[in-house]
Amino acid sequence: MKKIALINGHPNHESFNFALAEAYKKGVEDSGAEIKEIIIRDLDFNPNLQFGYQKRMDLEPDLLKAWEIIQLADHLVWVHPVWWGGLPAITKGFIDRLFLPGLAFKYRENSVWWDKFLKGKTAHIITTIDQPGWYYRMFYGRPSINQLKKSTLEFCGVKPVKVTYIGIIKNSKEEQRQKWIEKVYSLGRKLK
């Protein structure tokens, strides 16, 4: 049975991202697969990597539990908005504090190469935006996707990483939002 880790990176539990995450979760549950949630806003941790990689900060219990969920998962699903072209600060802090050398990867001594500790996992990024996806790719170079997909997940060995853009969110009508909910439910049902 496929094990899914659903990582919700929106800081507001009343956001449309939470509705999308719930739709994905329901789809997975209806498929019979196992799903565990990590709701970043609910975790008790310091999102500031105060010392960079010079001095290790102890991981708080919530981060240790989140890491256990990520390690046991076959497939990671990230739901987050794009704000100022990037990830919400709390989501970036979660990545900074958890995807560390020795946990997610390891630099090789006297080498430009590194070992990837998350090989064998796949991922799907479901992100909300306030512009067409093609515009975000073409004119901005999709910085949030490059950061999460290439510079974090693929760097640590997660492949393939699929991306679904949901938007334009601002001024969207209830009918359109319901279609997006159904689309994300279907992704969960198909375990994508």
| Three-state SS sequence of 44-111 | CCCCCCCCCCCCCCCCCHHHHHHHHHHHHCCEEEEEEECECCECCHHHHHHHHHHCCECCCEEECCCC
Tell me the angle at which helices 174-189 and 16-31 cross, rounded to the nearest 10 degrees: 30
- Identify the bridge partners of residue 34 per DSSP, sorted by sequence position: 3
In degrees and rounded to multiples of 5, residue 11 shows phi and psi of -80, -10
How far is residue 56 from each of residues 47, 71, 101, 115, measured CA to CA in Å? 14, 20, 10, 19
User: What local confidence, expressed as pLDDT, does residue 4 receive?
Assistant: 98
Share of residues in the chain with pLDDT > 90 (%): 95
The arithmetic mean of pLDDT across residues 2-24, rounded, is: 97
Q: Which domain holds residue 102?
A: 3-190
Question: Residue 108: how many CB atoms within 10 A of its CB?
Answer: 9
User: What local confidence, expressed as pLDDT, does residue 118 receive?
Assistant: 98
Question: Domain total for the chain?
Answer: 1
Q: pLDDT tens-digit profile of 94-153?
A: 999 999 999 999 999 999 999 999 999 999 999 999 998 889 999 999 999 999 999 999
First-to-last C-alpha distance (Å) of the chain: 14
Average pLDDT over the chain reads 96
Share of residues in the chain with pLDDT > 70 (%): 100
- Identify the bridge partners of residue 39 per DSSP, sorted by sequence position: 8
User: What local confidence, expressed as pLDDT, does residue 133 receive?
Assistant: 87
User: What local confidence, expressed as pLDDT, does residue 1 receive?
Assistant: 86
Verdict on whether the full-model pTM lies above 0.85 = yes
User: What local confidence, expressed as pLDDT, does residue 192 receive?
Assistant: 87
In degrees and rounded to multiples of 5, residue 181 shows phi and psi of -60, -45
Q: pLDDT tens-digit profile of 47-61?
A: 999 999 899 999 999
The CATH number for 142's domain is 3.40.50.360
